Structure 1
Amino acid sequence: MEVGIEEAPGRGVLPNGYLSDKLLAYNAGTVLEAGSDTTASTMQSFILFMISHPHVLKKLREEIDSVVGNERMPEFEDQENLPYLVACIKETLRRRPPAVMGIPHSSDSDDIYEGYLIPKKSSQRFMENENKSTWGSGPDFKGRDHFVFGWGRRFCLGQNIAQASFFIVLSRIVWAFDLQTPSDPKTGKPVVPDINNEQATYTDGFLSFPKTFPVAFIPRSEKKAQIIRKAFEEAQDQWEYLGLEKDSR
């Protein structure tokens, strides 16, 4: 039986060369599904690492303040002048990738790699991100450049949109807010989750999130609070222009 292009599995390309509405909808849904949770997980981990490493946050804030100033929020064009922020984002991905270094694979047969025997049917999982001989610090957090999106056939298709999302959101959070944590009533020290205790601090599953932790976002100044409110109002106007419902919260 002959199957039309519209119904053919894995196709969805029309005779005129365009994609069908169904395939476009699937592609859009795939981008949303694949990118929303992974991006949210990384951003939450970034906040967690910042409150766990206040000296890193201080240095990061100094870089952003020197480049952006107090009269505007960071823009995409600022990225090339904020190398430490980019390094901290990539270091977050090294320390806590949202998919926890992907899916374990099993070897089909005995193999030898650089003199090391990999037995048949053994589970393989690449953990180079935690290799102290490579990074020196292992689980410690140090802002630095790090390649995290893979390569070849397994290259992350969402790399560019993910990096853009990380940059614009996290740069504006650091620019705009102080991150405050509650203090222990006995010791007076900040109450911060142990980032090296995975079971206590992170959820289980293929995609892992930080468990709920207390942190307050306090505007660093009234001037910056006004800029944030104005940007929110402009975003609301854009939503309304597109025929979408405004945020009524």
Structure 2
Amino acid sequence: MMGLSSRHLRILVALGVAGILATTLILTAPMHAWGTTRPSTHDPTPQRVAESKLLDKLAIIFPVNNNTDMQFYRNTWLRDYLYPVCDWPAPGCKIVCHETSTYHTLDKKTFCFSREMKKYRDKEFFLKLDDDAFVDKDYMIGLISNYTNWDKPVYISDHERTSDHSNSNVDGAMYGNGKFYFFNYKLVECVDVNLKYRGRRNEDAIFGAMVRSGCGEPNVEYVQEDDEFVWHKSYTHKNKYIDLGYIKNH
């Protein structure tokens, strides 16, 4: 290199350094988020992939009102599976009933989302959840796994029988507690969305009557929920206590 000028030497050195840097970047690309290959530590495990596929079968039917805190639920595992049921069109609403509802007219809202659920043939499972309740993710994954491809309608909740001597179509029907009921599409298919009765009635009892009328109780698999994994009004676990209850006009 004795015949080279200092300018040429600087160019050769610069090219050498650039070559070393380029080689280093290529070899270490998998170690960086901007590399062409995702870091192996960020790849989902087979278990998580399987869980995600199970949860993709689920739609969470979530009746809301102007007081519902959607921010809370969108910061939980429920976020990707929520199907908010709204009175009127609004951002994020999946089901719109086009009718103002109150606590005393929620039975009408039940008919609304029941009709809409029949359109979701790509979903195998539905969870109806109140906005003062919460449910454990692993519990839901277990239910979906256990009841996938079940051969009859499934209805999982905390069941009881209603008493309504004014309406024979409702009286004595088995229904699930409104905070949580989980069911498959086979139940949605047969639910009677044209049930007739007089007066205003509890929306959960009406859903149970719709099930009995359309599906027939002997044809339905009624399963008791596990309340260890379902929280209503408050969430308590280990060192946590979260009030999920209703705050009027907050």
TM-score (norm 2): 0.25
| TM-score for both structures, normalised by structure 1 | 0.25
The structure showing larger relative contact order (alpha-carbon pairs under 8 Å, at least 6 residues apart) is 1
Q: Which has the higher strand share?
A: 2
Name the larger-Rg structure.
2
